[in-house]
Amino acid sequence: MSADLILRGGRVIDPANQRDAVGDVFVTNGAVSADPAPGATEINATGCIVTPGLIDLHTHVYWGGTSLGVDPATYAAKSATPTLVDAGSAGPGNFAGFAAHVIAPAVPRVLAYLHVSFAGIYAFASRVMVGESHDMRLMAAREAAEVARAHPGLIVGIKVRLGAHASGDSRAAPLDVALDVADATGLPLMVHIDEPPPTYGAVVSRLRKGDVLTHCFRPFPNAPMNGQGKVRPEVLEARERGVLFDIGHGMGSFSWRSARAMLAEGFRPDVISSDIHALCLDGPAHDLPHVMTKFLALGLPLADIVAMTTTAPASALSRTDLGHLTPGAPGDVSVLRLTPGNVTLTDVEGETVIHGERLAAVGYARDGVWHDSPQATP
């Protein structure tokens, strides 16, 4: 397939290069270029939004190897997202299978946070739900460090899940192990928090610069704000330290009430991600453009939302090559359409918001190779 591409006439939003204007984007030999290549594949992007390749920082794509995994190629096309970051589906005991059978042949780029639990998230289904952080015997520090060191560039961080559902009576003890592994490998941590214990404040107060707190706008209990709607002081202190806050919508972790309260206090997320998995693919998360649409409904400018799904996750991953359309960068491009018409947007508590337009996927390129989104018409 051709790695030469021309995207004609779209609204190009490239936050890293302060570009927001109608124009063309060129990819030559798989990399963004200043000039078009003769004979390149042409995509008419008139009326569309053209962005650097979207990066979904929180997905679960160990398809076939875990109950929660979705097929990366299908999801990438559905969401027009060329880079998917798996958030701890695999641990050190099964990462080899994930790497060989899913990541290596994947159409989109797949990067991974390695779970500190030996088998990753192994029992997450509608009728079987076992928190992988309950049993401290599964916290595999040595093995996780070994596997992370063996896959530099592919493993981008360490994952741990905490809360009444994920860690149960072990509470925050798995965080001790995960922090040890992160320190030993020099990698950032991504931490899931669900219902207490432990509390949101107790967890975020232990995170370091560059670590990611996902599910940052989750509902009560363990919401990021107190009963008066004010941002918890531990959250503000964490942001001052350089902790990153990621949406990670999923099936239980985005609340309109929390989002409105946090934004009213001037606290925006650093990263918008879907936490897509088998139990939220049909709602309430659906896909990354659907989650982005929710932030349009909350009043955020489109250019800022694009930054939260391109430059911000690229920075969290320390991938300076991704998230922008600078000549020489990988030829990763996403094309979306802002479609008028009422759309019902539902959070994880069942609250709905009606918005008058939505972001719809048209297609994406990875390294200059174009892939249409299902039923997309540029």
Known binding-site residue numbers for Zn(2+): 58, 60, 159, 192, 215, 275
Alpha-carbon gap, residue 15 to 192, rounded angstroms? 28
Q: Which residue from 179, 195, 60, 183 is spatially nearest to 131, judged by alpha carbons? A: 195
Dihedral of alpha carbons 359, 13, 271, 92, sign: positive
Alpha-carbon gap, residue 151 to 156, rounded angstroms? 9
CB atoms within 10 A of CB 139: 26
Q: Which residue from 77, 45, 75, 81 is spatially nearest to 63, judged by alpha carbons? A: 75
Alpha-carbon gap, residue 295 to 308, rounded angstroms? 11
DSSP string over 330-370: B--EEEEEEEEEEEEEE-TTS-EEEEEEEEEEEEEEETTEE
The Cα-based distances of 8 to 151, 280, 291 in angstroms read 38, 34, 26
Annotated binding residues: 58, 60, 159, 192, 215, 275
What's the maximum distance between 2 C-alpha atoms anywhere in the chain? 63
Alpha-carbon gap, residue 8 to 112, rounded angstroms? 33
Angle at 37 between CA 34 and CA 43, to 5 degrees: 90
Alpha-carbon gap, residue 277 to 121, rounded angstroms? 11
Q: Which residues contact 162 (CB under 8 A, 6 or more apart)?
A: 133, 171, 172, 174, 175, 191, 192, 193, 194, 198, 203
Phi, psi (rounded to 5 degrees) for 336: -125, 165
The Cα-based distances of 192 to 68, 179, 184, 252, 354 in angstroms read 16, 13, 20, 11, 29
- What number of residues does the chain have? 378
